[in-house]
Amino acid sequence: MLCDTSPLVALIRRNERQHLACRKVISSLRQPLITTWPCFTEASYLLSDRGGYPPLETLWSYFNAGTLQFYHLTEIDCQRMQVLLKRYQDLPMDLADASLVAAAESLNQKTIFTLDGDFYVYRFRDKEPFQVIPE
């Protein structure tokens, strides 16, 4: 299952509105969760900005435990990201979202664990809607 930045942050920050919902979802998902370096970087920034190192340690623990794995973006994925960023510039799409859409297309995976409403607008291979978890 592909995982966006927002659930990673919500899983770690207990005061996030969607914390309990994300905890419930993650317990029912087949693991590992797969994310990209841009999503992990964004989550790291958001967590450390308000909490310093302790939430980062928790984020890294997901990786160390095998709960979270990285999809390694290829050159073709990066080229696709450029196309996506241009196509969705009016939203605007950010780099983390573009990386996740490119990864989804490469992995043929239309289901995304995200709290980001933009994934209702983005299209898998420019045609089909993504299945967003949780709904």
Q: What are the tens digits of pLDDT across the range 29-49?
A: 888 999 999 999 999 999 998
CA angle 77, 39, 33 (to 5 degrees): 90
Number of structural domains found in the chain? 1
Distance from C-alpha of 6 to C-alpha of 119, rounded to nearest angstrom: 12
Q: Looking at residue 29, what is its pLDDT?
A: 85
CATH of the domain at 84: 3.40.50.1010
Confirm if 97 and 118 have CB atoms less than 8 A apart: yes
Global pTM value: 0.94
Domain that holds residue 115: 2-133
